[in-house]
Structure 1
Amino acid sequence: MTVNFSFDEKINLNFEKRAQRTLKSLRLKIKDENDLLFHLIPKQKELNEISTTADEIIGRSNTLIVAGIGGSSLAGKVFASIKNEREIVFFEGIEPRKIARAEKSIYFKKCFLNIVSKSGNTTETLVNSAFLLRKIKKANGENWKEKVLLSASEGEGVLLKWAKKEKIKILEIPSQVGGRFSAFTVAGLIPALYSGLDPNKIAKGAQKGLENGLSLELNSNLAFKLSQFYLSAYKKNLPNLVLWGYGKLCHLLSLWIQQLWAESLGKKKTSPSGEIKTGILPVALKGSEDQHSILQFLREGRTPNSVLFISENYKGEKLSAFEKKFCGFKQERLHYGEVQNALKEGTKRSLEKDNFLISEFSLSDASEETISETMALFIVSTLIISDFLKINPFGQNGVEEGKKITKSLLF
């Protein structure tokens, strides 16, 4: 394995038996064309089409602009941080100052716009796309359509209708794959390939994670162990699960996991005793930066928490003699990655003294294969947890009312 995670705290005697039943059920769904797992990893024909499109985009631009939010952008940002051979700019929420600066900071004649919206109706993406399209049209004249791609699912979405009318190129996100599960679809792969990653290595890593996550050998199944960690925290009534990523890549990964677990596992369900709200609030923190803002509260504040550290085994450059002397470090051979690891270990061990429920998910490297394997493992863990909680991990009814209110204010 290129990743490592260990957690052995037992929940109850029936937990492993039930996990076996859950995994057997999930293994059957891989062959079901109507299920997420069947479409999770693109087939070779889809990979080839996405690769060809990515090559065309690279040939037509110096910068890729991605207009999308949530599941339409988070995986792409993770992939883009691995290599980033070319510039990628993400327009996610509505940021008036960013829009005001874009006129001067972005050379639209050399840009390509990838609009990503599974539904085709996301307000933020509609607004950002309208602004960006106006700039793309102005800079490229009658050839502007060659600089735009829509990634969306079939349906009645505004963006899909517009793209078909304008004859804009469309690459489909399978309707069975929800936005937060779409890392390996065109939504995540266009930014990944534009940044210089290998699509076959991404698919290989995802397949490796899927196979391990669905394995009935529970002692080596990392998705099972992740679900065990989550459900242990849930059983202890710990309200928050801190996802503490050290380094930019691991922090972006923690933000992706935050959405995956929050939207999939924070659900309402009915029971004979009434309505029950499920899940733990995942909170993504960033390396030593948040040691200087959140650690104080975690150690002495009122709320007990669980913490999952996410780290990468990367030493980086060696500190020079001047740098070691300037900082007062005594070790003979010291790398920047070892300094980062010492900061993480200091935080981890201090929290262990307070009896926090703690574990660590460690990446052996930052390759596209390792990151894809990790994402697949977390996706399978989500499906396992949702089965134990007896909830539907798809959809997000909790955000619909806010959307309706927003539309009443704008339309």
Structure 2
Amino acid sequence: MLRVNYYNMMSAPDLVGLPVSCLDALVAKGKTVHTALMAQQQAGDLYFVDILDQSPSERQHIQDLAAKVRGNYENLAILGIGGSSLGPIAVHQALNGPFYNERVLQGMVDGPRIFFLDNVDPDTLAIFAKTVDLTKTCFNVISKSGGTTETLAQMLWIIDQLKALNPDGWKDQLIITTDPDRGSFRSLVHSGNFASLPIPYPLGGRYTVLSAVGLLPAATVGLDIDGLLAGAKAMRERCTSADLRENPAYLLGALHYLADQHGHNIAVMMPYSDRLYGFAQWFGQLWAESLGKKFATTGEIVSTGQTPVSARGTTDQHSQVQLYAEGPHDKLISFLRLAEPSPALPITSDGLGEPGFQFLIGAEFGQLLNAEEQAIEFALRQFGCISYTLELQRLDAPTLGAMIYLYELATVFAGGLYGVNPLDQPGVELGKVLTFGLMGRSGYEEQKSAIQGYQTERQKSPYVME
């Protein structure tokens, strides 16, 4: 289903890339990381590996809820942020493609329409409420802890709207996906008798896409969740070797790590498929939040991590590639491409009689898209940029599931190479507690005082211009 070609990463007479020797030298360390990962899996800490083995009854519960939504509502709205939204968006975009909601309205595909409310911008929320019939909308509220401020605020606001519009049946419009045993959302499920799905406790948000977090939205809009899981399982079987030269996930993790060690501290993912742009954005959170760490697991200050950037071919050839080509060579570029883009869409014009137009007559857009990718890949090599290409034979549920697992495992393997914990996110927590303070949450008065003092100092500083 997938092929990784890293020719443009390795040193050659015309490219200052990675010496083959440095990849070989990492093999022993990689085997040590593999042993540690196997121990973590046995301890239940790598739950994204185990979530693929959901029981038939668990998958059926997801399918039953999805069928209920399809049979009773015109719209599904996802209330979530970060991993609670980026993963489901990536799956939906990849497999349903662009203009899905418009195709539902025109009767080209069965509904419901799907909306991702992944921010707390009041403008967006107000327009959403005016755009859809809230009484015909099911809301999937996603937060493992129930302590995600943005999701909590969205849910409370939506509930107020629903109570006014549907006072007797508003509870039926909510499905809460949260921790199965603990947290404020789980308490709400018990006290309010809401429909719910579990996010197993060991599963971090950015690794939840193949759990109920991603599978319920996917099943609701008619996607093949069994195919997603089957593809991921197939990749899991493919990635069992301890030798990074034989394990594609370990290889990708090692290539990124070595590129970073050689000064390429920006990881650009550039899909040549609009359907895969959401995947690039999901990868951005996965890579940044997992590997951007101040402290090693030993307590040593290391300040690691590549900065992920999402680009889109061909669009960003005309906005970012100038920098990649002639700017600092601090980037590793990963191209995602389909072997044969579909559908066949020929250019059948007569060229309007213009000689300069004739070369396109009879060509197909898929042919043009892949020609653009090959041209930019080669051009960037000529400028001295390193890259690798992940080629998909097709873009379907099994292939996407395989890609998701491939990059999840690559991420935790890279974490082992860096010597950091790829499963936590301590740098995110300070912003959360400061927000609690500013919003007046009890117990966070000290944080409120600190940030208010900072704001006063900031406003009085000489570094303000009006």
Q: Shorter-chain TM-score: what band? A: over 0.9
Displacement of 1:40 after TM fit? 2.9
Query: Of the candidates 377, 386, 404, which is equivalent to residue 348 of structure 1?
Result: 377
- Within the candidate set 59, 73, 79, 2:91 is matched to 79
Question: May I ask how many residue pairs the two structures share in their alignment?
Answer: 410
Aligned CA RMSD, in angstroms, stands at 2.4
Superposed counterparts of 1:9-408, under 5 Å? 9=10, 10=20, 11-27=22-38, 29-33=40-44, 35-37=46-48, 39-44=50-55, 45-81=57-93, 82-83=95-96, 85=109, 86=111, 87-154=113-180, 157-216=183-242, 218-269=244-295, 275-302=301-328, 304-313=330-339, 314-322=341-349, 328-330=357-359, 333-408=362-437
Matches of 2:45 and 2:300, distance apart in 1: 32
Q: Deviations over 1:230-277 (max 9, x none)?
A: 012112122211111222221111111111110001112259996211
TM-score (norm 1): 0.92
TM-score by length of 2: 0.82
Q: Could you report, residue by residue, the CA deviation over 1:66-89 in whole angstroms, capped at 9, with x for unpaired residues?
A: 000111011111221212553110
Larger radius of gyration: 2
Q: Secondary structure at the match of 1:384?
A: helix
How far has the Cα of 1:324 moved from its partner? 5.7
On the 8 A contact 1:210/1:376 being kept in 2, the answer is yes
* % same residue: 24
Which position in structure 2 is the counterpart of 1:3?
2
**1-structure distance, mates of 2:45, 2:412:** 16
Structure 1: 5+ residue stretches without partners: none
Q: CA deviation at 1:50?
A: 1.4
- The whole-number CA distance in structure 1 between the counterparts of 2:89 and 2:150 is 17
Q: How many angstroms does 1:160 deviate by?
A: 2.9
| More displaced stretch, 210-219 vs 378-387 | 210-219
Q: Which residue of 2 aligns with 1:410?
A: 439
**Mapped contact 1:261–1:282 kept (Cα < 8 A):** yes
For residue 161 of structure 2, what is the amino acid of its counterpart?
A: K
Equivalent position amino acid for 1:41 in 2: L
Distance 1:349 1:276 in 2: 35
3-state DSSP of counterpart to 2:295: strand
Contact 2:335 2:388 in 1 (8 A): yes
The one-letter amino acid paired with 1:211 is E
Give, as a single letter, the amino acid of the residue that structure 2 aligns with 1:92: D
Deviations 1:187-233 (A, max 9, x none): 00011111211221111011011122223464442102211220121
Cα distance in 1 for partners of 2:66, 2:421 equals 34
Letter in 2 for 1:346: A
Question: Which blocks of at least 5 consecutive residues in structure 2 are unaligned?
Answer: 11-19, 101-108, 441-466
- Paired residue type of 1:311: R
Contact 2:253 2:411 in 1 (8 A): yes
Deviation at 1:396, TM superposition (A): 0.6
Q: Quick one: distance in 2 between partners of 1:321 and 1:13?
A: 51
The answer on whether the counterparts of 1:6 and 1:225 sit within 8 Å (CA) in structure 2 is no
- 3-state SS in 2 of match to 1:231: helix
- Displacement, 1:323? 7.2
* Change in 2 beyond 3 A, CA 1:103/1:342: same
Alpha-carbon distance, 1:410 to partner: 1.2
Q: Is the 8 A contact 2:244 2:254 kept in 1?
A: no
- Aligned 8 A contact 2:180 2:197 in 1: no
Q: Residues 348 and 317 (structure 1 numbering): CA distance in 2 closer, same or farther, change over 3 Å? A: same
Distance 1:273 1:323, change over 3 A: farther
Cα 1:335–1:135 change in 2 (3 A) is farther
- Summarize the Cα distance change of 1:329–1:261 in structure 2 as closer, same or farther, 3 Å threshold: farther
SS at match of 1:286: coil
Whole-Å Cα distance in 1 between the matches of residues 221 and 181 of structure 2?
A: 30
- Partners of 1:286 and 1:127 in 2: how far apart? 33
- Provide, for residues 51-98 of structure 1, a one-character-per-residue CA deviation record: whole Å limited to 9, x for no partner: 222112212212110000111011111221212553110000122221
Deviation track 1:255-306 (CA, whole Å, cap 9, x = no partner) reads 1111111000111225999621111111111222222221222222345211
